[in-house]
Amino acid sequence: MRLSLLDRSRTRAGEPDATGLTSTIERAVAVEALGYDRFWVAEHHGVPGIASGSPPVLLAALAMRTDRIRLGSGGVMLPHHQPLVVAEQFRMLDALARGRIDLGLGRSLGFTAPVRAALRDAPDAADRFADDVRAVLAHLDDTATVTARPRTPGPVSVSLLATGRGIELAGRLGLPVVVGGPLLSQPALADSLAAYRRSGGPSVTISLDVVVADDDATARELSLPEVWAMARSRETGEFGPLESVESIHDQSWSRLTRERVQRGLESAVAGTPATVRARLDDLRRLTGVDELLASTSTFDRGALARSDALLRDLLA
C-alpha cells in the first residue's frame, strides 16, 4: 500500500495563518526524507482553520523545496474554476517539477452559504461536473479546441475525489479515485469499489485521519483537537483553528458536543503502531485500497512529526 499525506495547512490558535503554510512546506520536506510517496494539499475558502485556498500556488512553493516526492491537489474544486485555466496551471507546475505533479479534482461548493455566494455559485446552477472533468482531460491530452500551455513531454496524472456518484464517474472515465469522509462509513462502499474495479478503474486511494503514538491513550488525545474543531463547527458554523488538548479540556462542553466528540474519537484511526496496523489491514480487506492518504493533523507539531514517522515505519 502506497503512503501519502494530505496536509490542509491547518491553523493553530494563537498563531498567524501564514505559519500554517510554512509548516506545510516544512512537513513536506520532512516526509520526503521519510520516504512517503506523495504529498497532497487542499482547497478551502473562507475557513478560519485552514490557510490553504490555492493548491497551485502552494504546490509551486513545495516543488521548489522538494526533489523526489510527488505533489498533488486533494483537490482543486472544479466548480470554482474554468477547465482551461486548471489545465494551464497544472501543466505549468509539471514543467517546473517534471513528472511529480498530480491533479486531484473535486466538486465541493464551499463550507457555508456566504462562501458559496462569494465564489459566485448559483444555487440553481446545473451540475456540470462530469462535463468539466472531461474538458480538463481534453485540454491535458491536446484534444480540445484550445491547447493548454506550456506543453510538456508527458501527461499530468489526474485523479477524482469521490462524492456522491463520483466513484461511478471515475470508473467510466478510467481515472484513479480518492475516497474519504462520509463515504468510508457507507455499507455499500465495498460494492461500489468492486464495480469500479470491474469497469477498469485503475486505483483506489482512501483518505482518512490516522494518528500514531506510543500508546493508545496518547493517540486518542492527539486526535482530540481535530475532532473538537469538527464538533464545534456543527454548533457554530465555523471550522476553527486547532486548539491545544489542555485548552479543550478546560472549556465547557455541551451535551451534544460531548456526544459528537465521542463519536469522532471512536471513528478515528488512532493508537499504537499495532493498533493502527490492524485497523488499516481491515480497511484494506474491505476496499482493496492501493494507497493510504493520511489527512492527519493535531495541535502539537512535534507529536504530528512523530506520528508521521511511526506511520511510515509501520507501512514500510
Q: Strand 70-73 relative to strand 38-41: parallel, antiparallel, unpaired?
A: parallel
* The model's pTM: 0.94
Is pLDDT at 164 greater than 70 in this prediction?
A: no
What is the CATH number assigned to the segment(s) 2-210+272-315?
3.20.20.30
**Sequence ranges of the domains in the chain:** 2-210+272-315
* 204-252 pLDDT per residue, tens: 999 999 999 999 999 999 999 999 999 999 888 889 999 999 999 999 9
Of 184, 176, 264, 272, give the one whose Cα is nearest residue 226: 264
| pLDDT at position 190 | 86
The mean-pLDDT minimum among 47-56, 161-170, 297-306 falls in: 161-170
* 19-37 pLDDT per residue, tens: 999 999 999 999 999 999 9
Cα–Cα dist 299/159, whole Å: 30
* C-beta separation of 282 from 274 below 8 A: no
Cα–Cα dist 150/240, whole Å: 38
